[in-house]
Every structure is written in structure tokens, then in C-alpha cells.
Structure 1
Amino acid sequence: MTETKPYDSADYLQTHEALAEYLTAVFEEQDGALLRHALGVAARARGMTRVARASGLSRESLYKALSEEGNPSLDTTVRVLRALGLRLTATVVPGAAEAGPP
């Protein structure tokens, strides 16, 4: 009988590049619940304590914000991304209509 272990994305997010690719793919889905989950996976990959310290958040606050019931604010999201060595950027959606003069 083959022995298996549960798949954990965090095991494969060991570089800044891997984290950036993972989160970029998640951002493209435009799903808040998926983003919250992915930030939690990324934080676990780096170490929750380390990310909490680097973000200026308590471990408890970080776990709560990134839990299934959590709803991280934009400020928390940006702080976690910064702690992971990443930043949030915007790109133009192909075919997007102009909102008006800049």
C-alpha cells in the first residue's frame, strides 16, 4: 500500500518568486475568500511568527484575519505582503472601458 501525505501549497513557496507567482494567480481570480486563504498559506510558508513580527501584527491578529472566518483589511493585506517581501500592484484589464479622463 502506498503511503501518502496531505498536499500543502506552503511546502512549495520557498522563494519570493514562487510566492509572487502564487499570489498573482490568486489575484487574477478576484475572489476575496481565495485571497485570504492564499495569504494564510503564504504566511505559513514563511512562518506565522516571522510574518507577524515583520508586519507589526500580533500572531493572534494574523491568525484571526487569515482564518476561514477572517476578513483582512486592505491595511492588513498590504502589511502581510510587505512582510513576505512583496507588494500589491495594479494592471489594466484587457478590454476595460475607460472610466473617464485621468
Structure 2
Amino acid sequence: MKRTLIRYKTKPDMADKNAELIAGVFEELKAARLKGVRYLSLRLDDNTFVHYVEAESGDSALPNLAAFKTFQGGIRERCIEPPVASGVTIVGNYRMLDEE
């Protein structure tokens, strides 16, 4: 399983728009019922966004979604700090993530 954490900070006037675009991704995800993908997005008080993605096959199907492509379009223009992705290892988990 591949786990990725992405972090970036949006411009204050673009944070709500960014959140709306992310909501669109979740709507399409729910409708598509993608198997093997888990996705979490958080917005911090300072307009930093954190995305956590787990993909069983190693490659996430997220980039193939139309809403995700829309979200990705213009992401750098919405940001003060650009997206940085890194692999992540879960050290502890108490009822936050499903355990299989």
C-alpha cells in the first residue's frame, strides 16, 4: 500500500475556493465508489491544507477523476506555499483510519 501526505498553504482569498474544489473531488469519489483508495483532506486555521492518500495498488485513481483534474488546475496560483508530497508511515492509529 502506498501512503502519501501532501501539504500546501493557500492565499487567504483562495482558501474557500480551494475547499470547494476539494469538496467536488469527494462528491465524485463517493459517486464513483473507487476501490482501493482512501483519501482525507484537512484545512488548518492558517489555510494550510493537508491531504492523506492511501492507494492499495500503489497508484491512486484520484488523478483520473474529472473533479480532481479541475482541483489540480490552478493549484499553484492558489498557493502561497506550493504542494509538497512525501511518503508517510503510520506510527500509531487509534480509530482514525480503518484497519483491515
Regarding TM over 0.5, the answer is no
Pick 1 or 2: higher relative contact order, CA cutoff 8 A, min separation 6: 2
Give TM class, smaller chain: under 0.3
For normalisation by structure 1, the TM-score amounts to 0.27
